A = this chain, B = another copy of it.
Amino acid sequence: MFTNEITKRLKIDYPIIQAPMAGGITTAKLVAAVSNNGALGMIGAGYLSPAQLREQIREVKELTSNAFGVNLFVPSEFKMVDEEIEKANNILNTFRSQLQIDKEPSILPSAEKTFQAYEEQIQVILEEKVPICSFTFGVPSIEIISQLKERGIILIGTATTVVEAQAVENLGMDAVVVQGSEAGGHRGNFISLHEDSLIGLMSLIPQVSDHVSISVIAAGGIMDGRGLSASLKLGAKAVQMGTAFLTCVESGAHAVHKEAILNAKDEDTMLTNAFSGKWARGISNKFTIEMQKYNSDIPNFPVQNTLTQSIRKASAAQNNKEYMSLWSGQSPTLARNETVEELINRVIVEANINY
């Protein structure tokens, strides 16, 4: 009952995509387990160097012969303003001292290097013949799109509003992930403003479906068969699930992160720009709450991300959830600690129930 054009093109049994969660969550083990169980595993490559990406792709290939994909962050120009960075460091030093670390990062990102790494990631994808590639934080250039399409790579964009979904379609991409306001992790808006782009899936899926003809993939708060069935009823052809896979046994997420989600209530998430300079949803903690008052003083992505790196690392090393990014969608009470196989089978069984 779940086969449609996009599942056929992606060569998957079920219309389920594991969200590409960057930062060590989507290990080869997780990605391969998803692909081996009839859904689509995705490497979240946003923070991987080209060499790391190549290595991870090869690891996945060793663990599965099924289709899988890679997600890239599309870089944007960003400014490095010394005063801004000094101000941000002064704010962050309070947290650094609470964690008993004293390093301000010595190497800061450069726009030039970021763009270069992205171009090299694209080369890795071409060379390794990755069958599916998705993009967040923007859309790739026409040149990159044609390079990838020439090799038969299926391309998926990410949108938070109708106008962004139309931009993805107009570039000739094959499908669009529509990210509802429920979604955990970074917001994918790239044309619409942050405050305008927080649209719930009940509104977003049918409105986008009415305005594009490519396949719509729903993302945000979907955790079980109810979410899958509802998304299909609203007009989506598949779903992308992040938090549900994050708490799985095979995920590389820190144990403290998994526990935080498994113990959270529906109203425990919030949007914060304090970790990376881009807005993202996660379980609130000391860092996100105390940083709220500075949200207009935060350097752009990826500068702030580099500045908070030692804080996040130390917090994780100390098993202290208060300074880590605890990304989660708005449905944490639906999360379980189970294997990928158990999760996928459960979702499909639940979605087949006739209510």
Query: Which A residues between 199 and 248 are near B, CB-CB below 8 angstroms?
Result: 199-208, 210-211, 218, 220-224, 226-227, 229-235
Cα–Cα distance between A268 and B182 once the two chains are bound (Å): 18
Q: Which residue of B200, B206, B208 contacts A181 across the interface (Cβ within 8 Å)?
A: B200
Q: A192 within 8 Å of B by Cβ? A: yes
Contacts of A233 in B (CB 8 A): 226, 229-230, 233, 355
Q: A77-85, A109-117, A328-336: which lies at the B interface?
A: A328-336
Query: Copy number in this complex?
Result: 2
Shortest distance in angstroms between A198's beta carbon and chain B's nearest beta carbon?
7
Contacts of A204 in B (CB 8 A): 266, 330
A residues sitting closer than 8 Å to B (CB atoms) are: 161-163, 180-182, 192, 195-208, 210-211, 218, 220-224, 226-227, 229-235, 265-268, 270, 329-331, 333-334, 355
13 A-B pairs with CB atoms under 8 Å apart are A161-B265, A162-B265, A182-B202, A195-B270, A197-B267, A200-B220, A200-B330, A201-B201, A202-B227, A205-B226, A206-B334, A210-B333, A235-B355
Given contacts A180-B202, A207-B334, 20 further A-B contacts (CB under 8 A): A162-B266, A181-B198, A182-B200, A182-B202, A195-B270, A200-B202, A200-B220, A203-B330, A203-B331, A206-B224, A226-B233, A226-B234, A229-B230, A229-B233, A230-B230, A230-B234, A232-B355, A233-B233, A233-B355, A235-B355
